[in-house]
A and B are shown apart, each in its own frame.
Chain A
Amino acid sequence: MTKLTQIILRSALGSMLLAGGAALLCNPAFAQSAEKGREAFARNGCWQCHGYQGQGGAAGLKLAPDPKPLVYFEAFIRNSNGPMPPYSEKILPKQDLADIHAYLSSIAKTPDYKTIPLLNQ
């Protein structure tokens, strides 16, 4: 993450929290669906850089398992000024964003690599 991104994020996070931006977390209008989130993750192109399971790789960071909290998630996606292009609410509605977070939260924990023989060659 670039320095600039961090600064913007910090201020974005601050203002979101102050203005009750965390409402996304508890507002029943944004009940989250992992199933819909999987579809939204594909439709909105998140898979392109993060992989279909949010595993990350050469083009994007790992998002799952254990995604960062929704409040961070939203601030980052809306305001990214680094290598990730930002998604405004116009192209990624709040509902999609919440569902995507639910989808990423539903992804099972990764096994310890030591239990996978091919990763111990």
Chain B
Amino acid sequence: MSPKDESPKANRRQFLGGVIAAGAATASAITPRISNAADAPAAGEHNHAEHERAPAALPPNGQTIAAETMAPPPLPRLGGRAGSDFMVDVIKTLGIKYLPANCASSFRAIHESLINYGGNTMPEYVSCMHEESAAGMAHGYFKATGKPLITLCHGTVGLMHATMGVYNAFCDHVPMIIMGGNDADAATRPPGVPTIHSAQDINAIVREFTKWDDTPTSLQHFAQSFVRGYKIAMTPPYGPVAISLDAGLQQEPIKPHHAGEALYIPKYVPTSPPQGDSGAVKEAARILVDANNPVIVADRAARTPAAIGLLVELAELLQARVVDLGNRMNFPNTHYLTSPPGVTNAADAILGLEMTDFWATINAYTDNGQHGIGENNRKARPDVRLISIGAATVPTRANYQQFQRFQYVDVDMAADAEATLPALIEAVKSALNSARKDAIVKRGEAARKAYAEYMARTRQEAALAWDASPISTARLCMETYAQIKHMDWSLVASEGNVSNWPQRLWAMEKHHHSLGRSGGYGVGYGAPASVGGALGNRDLGRFSVSIQSDGDLMFAPGVLWTAAKHKIPLLSVMHNNRAYHQEVMHVQRLANFRDRPSNNGGDSGPIGTSIMNPDIEYHELAKSMGWWAKGPIKDPAQLAPALKEAIEVVKSGHPALLNVWTQPR
């Protein structure tokens, strides 16, 4: 809160104590100059017309409505209009549609303003049962829509809960605005729990994995920080930002800014993403054109759907095979240049786009217990030329190691891949000469043949254990696909490892066909991200499906209730292998290395890794929270009819879950 003015502080404390105080702030001090568009464009979109839209285009805010209906002035107890009302005015200028959060006293003031002054719209409050669920929902929502959400957290304990979700967003380059309530004034804050839940610097806990954070000490400071935070989050590489909300600042009446000027809301103008330097782009084009076997590896390359077309154009120009690592839907898997990761081993040039781990494309780590740690081997050719384009390739944080091992590359552009692709395409076109054209055509023919063989091999692999019970992951995925493929579907999450069948055998051509993985591999991403993705897809008229694993769901299953409460249609097909299966294999591996039999304690995997005895009745769990659900399904013949029923429910606007017992991977 502002240290400069004592009187509002006194008002707040008296208010807290139930004493009526004489208000002093005047309405003239509170007229915000709103200049941002209601529907803010994403970074890189040049939408000046939107920004010049008059404030009248905005829905009427609480203040306008009050003036028009001659509502009585605020209660004298408060002493003027609440600071949190102005915060809502600021938030409304950025066109943020939802605010998933778990309620808490440290942000009660802005909570009240959002729903009563702001009319619970833009943003609409989405009730969550865990802060990690709220962050996960914002994560999934962004990947479905390209629009960031805000979440509110109880400053200390709530933010502690949210951290795993924030880390995922940071690793996955997903923007979100996390606002944490805090009561900073030790002399006046309520004693007891609110004081235990206060901190000097609440943002400290997420500072190492957010792009930026701030602790505004005045309302004008808040306005600047909110718009700045939004801008930072939405500048590639995208990422989360945190803003601490002082309880006093929220609750106190609005007063003139210290210099006497009226409060204003800064205009948001998207920052254009960093683009590769023209010399480096030319050099990259030369390497790619000269190569006999260039390969493109795309990690988070398709920041927006537009990148897919660009990548297809570049790949076709070069007839270069493309490996899509699956963190975004980068390249249509129906295209003959789609290739499995192993093709990089024979490449003489590799173009990596928004790579998190270029090292792992060039080298292999084998977890074979050699010297207790494992073994590193190079798998790429020794003479391979490497080009990297990625906005996040130069780390800005040191503590968490998501930047992976250091990989030397020949041409390195700290630039947004999607923004650089048009220039690279042009440079490749000018570097191409007729002498190379024949070789390039031949390469394309070989790629077509390899693709046909790869697909036949993949389909034959999927046929293995087709009738098995528990149900094979291939069968699970292909039964599901058969029921959804005629709709505008979106795989909102696929956690728990189903041997990548959707990426291998579902026809993925649109950006929203797969929203990718968690980023931080923080467990418990799938459930909330699928609900958040489904919320975004609901408004866009898409059908959402999730492959939901068992362990992932149990970290914070309360998000099931959120989906039912807010009528979020989602088909959740469980990959229930009744274990934290990755850990099953890890402990077994260590037992073997140490030459002792694994103690399974009566379960099927090592003690501490199974989720059985008793088995969790996920369908009952989901039903108890308002879902339509069925299970456990163990016979593959029962899958199709159950899927049909579930899809009808989802089409009617509700979530549905099938608890399916599956093979481990």
Contact = CB atoms under 8 A, between A and B. Distances in A.
A48 B367 CA distance: 16
Interface residues of B, number: 49
Nearest to B368: A81
A112 B463 contact: yes
Contacts of A90: 595-597
Interface string B481-506: 11001000000000001011000010
Nearest to B466: A116
A2 B479 CA distance: 35
A4 B377 CA distance: 11
A25 interface: no
Interface string B385-423: 000000000000000000000000000000000000000
Interface stretch (B159-167, B216-224, B584-592): B584-592
A2 B459 contact: no
Interface in A64-103: 80-83, 85-88, 90-91
A57 B482 contact: no
A94 to B, nearest CB: 15
Given A2-B366, A62-B461, A85-B592, A118 B482 contact: yes
A121 B497 CA distance: 22
Interface in A30-88: 42-43, 45, 47-49, 51-53, 55-60, 62, 80-83, 85-88
A58 B494 CA distance: 14
A47 B664 CA distance: 8
A80 B370 CA distance: 12
B472 interface: yes
A19 interface: no
A48 B596 contact: no
Contact of B466 (A60, A86, A91, A110): A110
Contact of B464 (A53, A85, A87, A120): A53
Nearest to A53: B465
Nearest to B605: A48
B462 interface: yes
Nearest to B481: A121
B361 interface: no
A26 interface: no
Contact of A59 (B375, B468, B600, B665): B665
B638 interface: no
B2 interface: no
B466 A111 contact: yes
Nearest to B663: A51
A58 B663 contact: no
Given A57-B665, A58-B497, A86-B592, A49 B585 contact: yes
B468 A53 contact: yes
Contact of A83 (B366, B470, B485): B366
Given A48-B588, A85-B588, A121-B481, A56 B595 contact: no
A88 B592 CA distance: 8
Given A47-B664, A81-B368, A91-B597, A52 B470 contact: yes
B642 interface: no
B368 A113 contact: no
Interface residues of A, number: 38
Nearest to B596: A91
A29 to B, nearest CB: 22
B460 interface: yes
Contacts of B466: 110-111, 116
B368 A119 contact: no
B478 interface: yes
B593 interface: yes
B340 to A, nearest CB: 12
B473 A57 contact: yes
B662 to A, nearest CB: 10
Contact of A48 (B456, B468, B478, B581): B581
B501 to A, nearest CB: 9
A104 to B, nearest CB: 12
Given A48-B664, A118-B482, A110 B592 contact: no
B592 A91 contact: yes
A86 B366 CA distance: 13
Contacts of B366: 2, 82-83
Interface of A: 2-4, 42-43, 45, 47-49, 51-53, 55-60, 62, 80-83, 85-88, 90-91, 110-113, 116, 118-121
Given A51-B665, A119-B478, 12 more contacts: A48-B588, A51-B664, A52-B663, A53-B468, A57-B663, A58-B499, A59-B585, A81-B370, A83-B366, A88-B595, A91-B596, A121-B481
13 contacts: A48-B584, A48-B585, A49-B665, A51-B664, A52-B468, A53-B468, A58-B497, A62-B461, A85-B589, A86-B592, A91-B596, A111-B463, A113-B460
A-B interface, 10 closest residue pairs, ranked by CB to CB distance from nearest:
A85-B592, A55-B464, A55-B465, A57-B665, A57-B499, A113-B459, A58-B499, A53-B465, A118-B478, A113-B463
Interface of B: 366-370, 375, 377, 456, 459-466, 468, 470, 472-473, 475, 478-479, 481-482, 485, 497, 499-500, 505, 507, 581, 584-585, 588-589, 591-593, 595-598, 600, 604-605, 663-665
